[in-house]
């Protein structure tokens, strides 16, 4: 794959970073994924210089449970870096857990970045890499990397369409001959769907749930198929009584929330298809659309995209880690 090799390899890197809105993953060339935990930090001493109290999985357990002197923060919002200090603390923590701080100064890294990230957003990632002590870092577009991880023929003279469904952003790209021919994105993902579910329960059922409960409810919904209702049980607080309660709803109750969310994604897919050349369109019609990212696990997403576009749509193997697997392929060549 000569063109792909020219795109991804100048100096060989030792470390790759998949810094997602939901999870941070570190990948080493000879070991594969060595760290995979939520992109979260918990800080104390907020009135002075914040001190890192917990990060990753430990911080996830603290969401909506902290006293006033503690604060849980996400360094990324809608797929891009918003808080360099928090990101730096989290990356240092991850590298420590992966046992790599002793050799960090000599390390070159590859970092995935949304294809539509602004120059300021890209510079923020490079600043973070410098702050943790990496020798150098270069950025690669996540849709292309996800396509590598999904084992699509990215270097062939043939168009492949990928939809990378992340927690903070959803990216649609057509890839051929080792590069991205066209890409569009929408800054929604699994996190915005969680919020949509939370708002729906609040407005329709006068029932409050937290972030963890919203994500679990989404996962319960994911297991079903559109139009085939199941009963889902939710624990939270009733606004009617002000007391802890259990709410039972049909999965059909969430169909409209999910359809509205997916509708924004299919609109972007249609925009990309409308801007695609005839020959690439023929390739996509033949080979269909491939979904990656955590959102790809939702059966309703695949069904609605297939229905709206008329194109065969499939989910990649291990979709949540396609970017990480693609970054590993870059390190290995």
pLDDT at 100: 64
Beta bridge partners of 67: none
Instruction: Say how far apart CA 249 and CA 151 lie, in whole Å.
Output: 39
Just give the CATH number of 2-39+74-145+323-332.
Answer: 3.30.420.40
Residue 2 has pLDDT above 50, yes or no: no
By CB neighbour count within 10 A (0-12 exposed, 13-18 middle, 19+ buried), where does 107 fall?
Answer: buried
pLDDT at 300: 86
Q: Do domains 2-39+74-145+323-332 and 152-316 have the same CATH topology?
A: yes
pLDDT at 8: 45
State pLDDT tens for residues 55-75.
999 999 999 899 989 999 999
Instruction: Say how far apart CA 126 and CA 84 lie, in whole Å.
Output: 10
pLDDT at 271: 97
Just give the CATH number of 152-316.
Answer: 3.30.420.40
CB-CB contact of 238 with 245 (8 Å): yes
Instruction: Say how far apart CA 305 and CA 1 lie, in whole Å.
Output: 31
Of 174, 166, 168, whose CA–CA distance to 147 is shortest?
174
* Domains of the chain, residue spans: 2-39+74-145+323-332, 152-316
pLDDT band at 135 (very low <50, low <70, confident <90, very high): confident
CB within 8 A of 88, min separation 6: which ones? 128, 131, 132
State pLDDT tens for residues 139-177.
999 999 999 999 999 999 999 999 999 999 999 999 999
Residue 7 has pLDDT above 50, yes or no: no
């Amino acid at each position: 794959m000569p063109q792909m090799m020219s795109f991804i390899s100048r100096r060989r890197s030792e470390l790759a970073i998949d810094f997602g809105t939901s999870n941070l993953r570190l990948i080493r060339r000879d070991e594969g994924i060595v760290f995979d935990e939520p992109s979260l930090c918990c800080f104390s001493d907020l009135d002075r210089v914040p001190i890192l109290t917990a990060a990753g999985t430990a911080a996830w357990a603290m969401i909506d449970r902290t006293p006033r002197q503690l604060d849980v923060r996400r360094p990324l919002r809608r797929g891009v870096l918003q808080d360099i200090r928090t990101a730096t603390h989290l990356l240092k923590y991850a590298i420590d857990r992966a046992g790599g701080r002793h050799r960090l100064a000599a390390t070159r890294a590859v970092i995935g970045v949304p294809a539509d990230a602004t120059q300021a957003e890209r510079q923020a990632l490079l600043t973070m890499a410098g702050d943790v002590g990496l020798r150098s870092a270069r950025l690669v577009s996540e849709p292309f990397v996800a396509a590598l991880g999904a084992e699509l023929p990215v270097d062939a003279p043939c168009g492949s369409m990928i939809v990378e469904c992340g927690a903070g952003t959803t990216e649609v790209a057509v890839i051929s001959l080792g590069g991205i021919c066209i890409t569009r994105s929408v800054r929604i993902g699994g996190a915005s769907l969680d919020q949509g579910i939370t708002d729906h329960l609040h407005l329709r059922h006068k029932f409050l749930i937290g972030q963890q409960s919203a994500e679990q409810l989404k996962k319960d919904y994911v297991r079903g198929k559109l139009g085939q209702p199941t009963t889902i049980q939710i624990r939270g607080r009733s606004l009617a009584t002000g007391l802890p309660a259990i709410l039972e709803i049909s999965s059909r109750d969430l169909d409209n929330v999910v359809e509205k969310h997916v509708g924004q994604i299919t609109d972007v897919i249609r925009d990309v298809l409308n801007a695609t050349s005839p020959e690439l369109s023929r390739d996509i019609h033949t080979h269909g659309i491939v979904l990656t990212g955590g959102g790809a696990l939702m059966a309703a997403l695949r069904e609605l995209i297939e229905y709206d576009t008329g194109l065969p749509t499939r989910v990649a193997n291990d979709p949540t880690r396609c970017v990480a697997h693609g970054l590993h392929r870059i390190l290995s060549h």
